[in-house]
Chain A
């Protein structure tokens, strides 16, 4: 069974950093692109980043709203994806979902999400 479990969310002050983890099981992690999608309270979905599989160069892309502040990475030996979030802003408050896709353009499995609240 494919499983994605996010962790690392919580309350953080503006300007601080947080690292989210996405621990996966049930599939060959290295064969898939991994993405992070967020959803602010009461709002719609917002794609923020993906990382391709190493077979496709392991390249990364970012939404303009997080480019330069957030970094996605992957550890294929541990089947974990990470999202390092720096210089957090109040508008980064959201549920962050980790997702898997055969290609970056769609997500066929999603985690349950982890809430990040940026507030003083």
Chain B
């Protein structure tokens, strides 16, 4: 199972919106609405930000939103804040009953 494809890095200025893409195949992202997104600050455990494509866990800011079209999922962060600077990972359930992660995207807030 190959990793999902994410851009290595994205950047934006405070207040702007950014979108991180996550491209898979018809055997993972395209097969189910089981895409999730995680935020990981250096030296910390990942934190769930979005699950099942577009659902936000309790306590996660509504500035974070998720969507999917075909084999590509996206995470959008609106109203960028300095604290959003972090690594972001997508993951998807697969038709092999496994889970696969993306390679990760480093978000820089300029």
Contacts and interface: CB of A to CB of B under 8 A. Distances in A.
A90 to B, nearest CB: 20
Contacts of A105: 32, 34, 36, 51-52, 91-93, 99
Interface residues of A, number: 23
Contacts of A47: 91, 98-101
A110 B45 contact: yes
Interface residues of B, number: 26
B24 interface: no
Contacts of A63: 1, 98
A61 B102 contact: no
B36 to A, nearest CB: 4
A120 B19 CA distance: 43
Interface string A36-74: 010000001111001000000000011110000000000
Given A47-B98, A64-B1, A105-B36, A110 B103 contact: no
Interface of A: 35, 37, 44-47, 50, 61-64, 97, 103-113
State the 5 A-B residue pairs at the shortest beta-carbon distance, nearest first: A105-B93, A106-B36, A105-B34, A47-B99, A110-B45
